[in-house]
Structures are given as C-alpha cells and as structure tokens.
Amino acid sequence: MITFGSILSSSWPKIFQILSVIVIFFGFYGIAFAAGARIKGKKQNSLAIALFLVPALILVMTGLGIPAIQTFLESFKNADSSKWVGLANYSNAIKDPDIRLAFINTISWVVICPVIVTALGITLATMLNKMKREAFAKSLIFMPMAISFVGGSLIWNLMYAYQEPNHAQTGLVGQVMTWLHIDVKHLLLWSPWNNLFLMVVYIWGFTGFAMVILSAAIKGIPTEIEEAAQLDGATGIRLFRTITVPMVRTTIIVVLTTAMVGTLKLFDVIHTMTGGNFKTDVLSNRMFDENFVYLNYGRGSALAVLIFLGVIPITYYNIRSLRLERKH
Amino acid sequence: MSDKGHASSRPFTSPIASVVVTVIAILWTVPTFGLVVTSFRKKEDILSTGWWTSFKNPGFTLENFRAILFESGGTVGEQGMIPFAINSLAITIPAVLLSVGLGLMAAYALAWIPFRFSDQVFYGLFALQGVPLQLSLLPLLTFFATGIQLFGHTIFPQLHIVGTLASVWLPHTMFGLPLVIYLLHNFVAALPREVMEAARVDGANHFETFRKIVLPLSVPAIASIAIFQFLWIWNDLLVALVFAGGTDDVAPLTLHLANLGGSLGSHWENVAPAALFSIIIPLIVFFSLQRYFVRGLLAGSVK
C-alpha cells in the first residue's frame, strides 16, 4: 500500500529540481536585465545578442547541428564505429529484406496518411463552416491531438482486441465484424493490411489538426468571392472545387507537408502497437532498433540519414516559400 | 457575417453534411470513450465481454484506479503511477520554460537587433527545424556521457547528467527551440515598428524594450506556444526512450505506459486506467486552453 506521504517524500527532490530550474532561470535573467538596462550605446547590442540569442544558438547547435554532422559521419563507419566502411551501411541496408520492407512501409505511410488526413480535413472544415454546433463537433475531432500516440495506440489496441470467432469479442472492431458476418481476424497480425490499421491511429490523431488549420483558412476566404461565384451559379461540390480548394491551396500544402514529415518520422505508434513485428516495421522504428537494440550504430545512423534525405525536399520547398514571403 | 441567410448555398452545407460530420465526430470519440468505460469495469468483465455490453449489465468500480495508483509492486511499478506523473511534470515544466523563455529572447534578437548574420542565422534555424531528431539522438546521448568530439578534438566537455531528469528535459529544450523561435519570430517581428521606435526615442535599450514592451505584448503568443510545447513534450515517447530508457527513476508516463502496454498485453484492468491517467492532464490543458492552443497552431501554418 502506497500513501500520499510516501509518494511525496520520494518525489520531493524532483519537485525541488523543478523549482531550482525556475529560480535559476529567472534569477539569472533578472540580474542580467537589471544590469543590461544601465548599459547604453553601441555595447548594448553585442551584450543583448550574447544574452538573448547565444544561449539558444549553443543549445540548438549542441542538440541538433553538431549531432547531425556526427550521425552523417557515423553512417560511413562500422557497427561499433571503429573503422570506416564507405557506403557499406547503405548498400547492406538496401540488400537487407527486413529494411527493404521497412522502406516500402515508410513510403506507403508517407503517401497514404497525408492524403487521407488532408482530404478528411478539408472536407470536414468545409462542411463544418458555419454549421450549428460547429465548435462542439470540432472539439471532439480535435481531441485526439491532445492524446499521446502511446495513449492513442493503446486506445486502438483496445478497439482491435481479438478473441477466437466463437467467443464474445472484446474489441469493438471485431464485434462490428461479427455483426456484419465478416470473419473476425486478428487485425494487427494480418499482413499487409495491418499497416493500414496502424495508419488509422495516425489519421485519427492528426485529422483534427488538418481540420482546424484548413478551417481557419476557409474562414479567411473573402465573402465577396464566394458570393460572386454563387451568383454565377456555382454551388455544392463545384463551389468547393473551383473556389474553396484553390483559395486555400497554400494551406493545403502546409498540412500535406507537415503530415509527410510527421509520418516519415513516426515512431510511437509502431513501437507501441507491434514493435515493428508482423511486417509493419518502418525506417524510424528500425533506426531505433539498430541503434539501441542491435547496437549497430553505423547502420542506425545510415537509416537516420535516409530519413533526413526524405525531409530535405520538403525543407527546401519551405525555405523557398519563406524567402519569397519575406521579400514581400 | 453578412451571409448568414445563404447557408444552404454553401458547399456541402446540407443534411448530408450534418450526417457525415456527426458520424465522423462519433467515430473519433468512440475509441477514447471505450477506454474510459473499460477503465471503470471489473477485471472479470473486461476479460469476458466487450465494454459496450456494460450498459446492459452495469457494474462499475474504482478498484482499477486504486490498484494502479496506490498498490506497490506487481505490474505497475514499485510506487504506482504517481511518481511517473511527477517525472512527466519534472521533464515538461523545465523544458517548456527554457524553450519558450530562451526562444522568445532569440526571436526578439533576430527580429529587432540588427547584426551582420541575422538573416543567415534565421534561415539556419529554420532549416534545422526540418532535421529529424532521429539524426541527433545517439550523438547527443554520447555527448552527455563523454563530451563532444569532432574529428578527434574535444570541443565540449562531458556533462554529468546521464540518468537524471536534466538529461531528458535538456534534449527537449534543444529540439523544441528552432520551431519555438520561428513561431515567436513571426509574432514578435509583426509588432508595430512605431512602438519599438518610440521606446528607443525614450531612451530604452534592448533590455528595457524587451521587458517593458515585447514581453507584455507577447503574452497571448507565449501562452499558445507554451501549451503546444507542453503537449508535445508531455506526449513524447522517442526522446524519453532514448534519454530516460535506462531507469524507472526518471521515466515519464508515456514511457511507462508503452512498457505496460507491451508487457501486459491484455491486462486491460491495469492498462486502461493507466492510459486514462496519462491523458487526463493533457486533456484538461487542451479543453481549458483550447482557444490559445488553436491560435498557436495557426501562428505557424496559415499564411
């Protein structure tokens, strides 16, 4: 039996640590600001940059910049990074049937999920626009955004829970299949369709994001444009196709690319639901296993670099549009 | 709005649309609802029947929650679930504070302090936002253990934080900063130039301008991005697995939950209430601060 008292006494050091971080942060910057306020003239620019920008840059460089370079170098070394092996990690990765499967699965994730999420998102956003009780329906669809993918995976594990066909089903999906007289299957073991059932978790979690973003964009369409189109006789699906979709094109691209990057890096769902077994492995999970289970750092790094290569076109596109936008 | 009367001529606004939206809203809610119901059911009921049957034969209990929170040993952990929630807080609070605090100052510096490589730094940060954190995990972990060596030279000494909470919230701060800086930069750069110049004419330097003008005006943006960061860090699994994977002492709820789900498989009388317990705080944050959260999302996405 655990009491609140015992929990409190064992967590006290952690609570103390939270408080110390807060006190140190505000204490340091409190003093810095008090001192900085007295400094005038040219010196204040360099001091402000040193205190405002440099800490963030150091953290970003040590956390992302330098490690990325190291991983890149690591990917040309052997399992325990003791010698250089050239492109061997990459060529072995492509030859390995398990990794090839992870590759194919990742590609299907990146192709299927963003399209479904965006299509659902824009349909919902359009339908919900000015509907009664809009906010309530939106909250319900958006809610999974607040739930971790670990929590979401368990929620869907329960939905997919399987019992032998002649037993009472404990998963709702199996029960619905029984009601519809479809043979009940252990969905998470049923390759290759199990990949789709895993994608459902991501789609369930991410559609709310797409809907909210697209909904804001749709509300931003000038009423006059819609009214003019309506005077010309455009209604329903035609209005949607000729006005709504083109007017929110940039936002659609933002949602699509965000979802593509998200699925390319997706890890939690696979790790929690199947652990990459039953032919559901993806690059990101495989990379984790290579690095932290099989301890093959060279190959794990090569997979991380491959994930990065997938992100590069999207980052390039984003930087280009950001540049154009900043010029205006 | 001037066009309320035209509702029927809007795309898809029809009875069919209402039905579709209602069906999707229900489909999206049922799985979570199933988890909530399951966590209040008796163990033998969970094993033998589906949760939807419990409305015909009700028999709910709080025993599952008592077990995961206050029973020591066994499957849930020596101390129950509460210490993991404290770990989650002890990881999330410092990481949110540091990423948003340092991010806001960096955003101000990039937007309002002219210096030579300002543009390059801004684009560099924006590009790093695209770097998958998978690329950084292993080297960063090694750095915490042994310092940074690049081409055989030690350029950063080792930090003695392996196995502590700091080794989890520090990576979160580092990984979160590029996006936080970018989003806050959008906001801070859009503050009216006249206000900033008026402050300078009055003799305020950057420190005073930041404290007296930028900070108070940015409160809504700070709130929304802080909520966003909070949810992101609270819900993370990958960073937790890599940096807190070795020890229960610093493991957050998500990590413990993923282990439970894997090791217990069908022990839903433990897994369901544990999952509900882990999502309750983000759900409270989400429902009470939904408006700010949405604003934070929009800050970065709608142009």
- The DSSP code sequence of A201-217 is HHHHHHHHHHHHHHHHH
Ranked by mean pLDDT, which of B4-18, B147-161, B218-232 comes out on top?
Answer: B218-232
pLDDT value at position B12? Answer: 53
Overall average pLDDT of the A203-227 stretch: 91
pLDDT value at position A322? Answer: 85
Residue B282 contacts residue B231 (beta carbons within 8 Å): yes
Full-model pTM: 0.92
Is the link from the previous residue into B178 a cis peptide, with omega within 30 of 0? no
pLDDT value at position A242? Answer: 87
Name the band, by pLDDT with cuts 50, 70 and 90, for residue B203.
confident
B106 has a chain A CB within 8 A of its CB:
yes
Tokens of residue A50, six digits = 């040193």
Rounded to an integer, what distance in angstroms lies between the CA atom of residue B296 and that of residue A254?
15
Name the band, by pLDDT with cuts 50, 70 and 90, for residue B189.
very high
Q: Is the confidence at residue B301, as pLDDT, over 70? A: no
- Please judge whether A2 and B79 are an interchain contact, meaning their C-beta atoms are less than 8 angstroms apart: yes
Q: pLDDT digit string (tens) for B33-44?
A: 999 999 999 998
A142 has a chain B CB within 8 A of its CB:
yes
- Please judge whether A275 and B50 are an interchain contact, meaning their C-beta atoms are less than 8 angstroms apart: no
Q: pLDDT digit string (tens) for B275-289?
A: 999 999 999 988 888
B5 has a chain A CB within 8 A of its CB:
no
Name the band, by pLDDT with cuts 50, 70 and 90, for residue B73.
low
Task: Pick B1 or B268 by higher pLDDT.
Answer: B268
pLDDT value at position B263? Answer: 65
Percent of residues in chain A assigned helix, strand, coil, to nearest 5: 75, 0, 25
Rounded to an integer, what distance in angstroms lies between the CA atom of residue A90 and that of residue A84?
13
Residues of chain A with CATH 1.10.3720.10: 89-327
pLDDT value at position B302? Answer: 47
Task: Pick A76 or A37 by higher pLDDT.
Answer: A76
- Please judge whether B128 and A60 are an interchain contact, meaning their C-beta atoms are less than 8 angstroms apart: yes
Q: pLDDT digit string (tens) for A112-142?
A: 999 999 999 999 999 988 777 788 899 999 9
* Number of CB atoms found within 10 A of residue A316's CB: 12
Domains of chain B: 4-61 (no CATH), 82-301 (1.10.3720.10)
Q: Is the confidence at residue B300, as pLDDT, over 60? A: no
Task: Pick A41 or B207 by higher pLDDT.
Answer: B207
B2 has a chain A CB within 8 A of its CB:
yes
Q: In degrees to the nearest 10, what's the CA dihedral of B108, B113, B115, B118? A: 30
pLDDT value at position A78? Answer: 92
Q: Is the confidence at residue A323, as pLDDT, over 90? A: no
Q: How many Å separate Cα B64 from the centre of its chain?
A: 27
**Nearest chain A CA: its distance from B194 CA (Å):** 20
Residue B298 contacts residue B224 (beta carbons within 8 Å): no
A157 has a chain B CB within 8 A of its CB:
yes
- Which distant-in-sequence residues (6+ apart) come within 8 Å of A228 by Cβ? none
Residue B67 contacts residue A188 (beta carbons within 8 Å): no
Q: Is the confidence at residue A229, as pLDDT, over 90? A: no
Q: Is the confidence at residue A177, as pLDDT, over 70? A: yes
When CB atoms are compared, the residue of A68, A172, A291 closest to B131 is A68
Q: pLDDT digit string (tens) for A258-272?
A: 999 999 999 999 999
Tokens of residue B40, six digits = 């209040």
Per-chain mean pLDDT for chain B: 87
Q: Is the confidence at residue A150, as pLDDT, over 80? A: yes
Residue with tokens 């684009």: B123
- Please judge whether A40 and B205 are an interchain contact, meaning their C-beta atoms are less than 8 angstroms apart: yes
- Please judge whether A154 and B148 are an interchain contact, meaning their C-beta atoms are less than 8 angstroms apart: no
Residue B264 contacts residue A154 (beta carbons within 8 Å): no
pLDDT value at position A226? Answer: 82
Provide the 8-state DSSP code for B9: G
Q: Which residues of B touch A50 (CB under 8 A)?
A: none
Residue B43 contacts residue B67 (beta carbons within 8 Å): no
- Please judge whether B71 and A307 are an interchain contact, meaning their C-beta atoms are less than 8 angstroms apart: no
Residue B303 contacts residue A251 (beta carbons within 8 Å): yes
pLDDT value at position B155? Answer: 72
Q: Is the confidence at residue A46, as pLDDT, over 60? A: yes
Q: In terms of CA atoms, which chain B residue is nearest residue A136?
A: B25
pLDDT value at position A1? Answer: 66
When CB atoms are compared, the residue of B169, B177, B207 closest to A48 is B207
Residue A125 contacts residue A211 (beta carbons within 8 Å): yes
Q: How many Å separate Cα A314 from the centre of its chain?
A: 14
Overall average pLDDT of the A66-85 stretch: 92
The CATH code that applies to domain A89-327 is 1.10.3720.10
Q: pLDDT digit string (tens) for B92-144?
A: 999 999 999 999 999 999 999 999 999 999 999 998 988 888 899 999 998 88
When CB atoms are compared, the residue of B17, B110, B131 closest to A64 is B131
Name the band, by pLDDT with cuts 50, 70 and 90, for residue B265.
low
Per-chain mean pLDDT for chain A: 92
- Which distant-in-sequence residues (6+ apart) come within 8 Å of A102 by Cβ? A276, A281, A282, A283, A285, A286
Q: Is the confidence at residue B243, as pLDDT, over 80? A: yes
Cα distances (angstroms) measured from residue A262 to each of A161, A199, B64, B217: 26, 12, 34, 32
Q: Is the confidence at residue A212, as pLDDT, over 80? A: yes
When CB atoms are compared, the residue of B1, B108, B278 closest to A148 is B278
Provide the 8-state DSSP code for A77: B
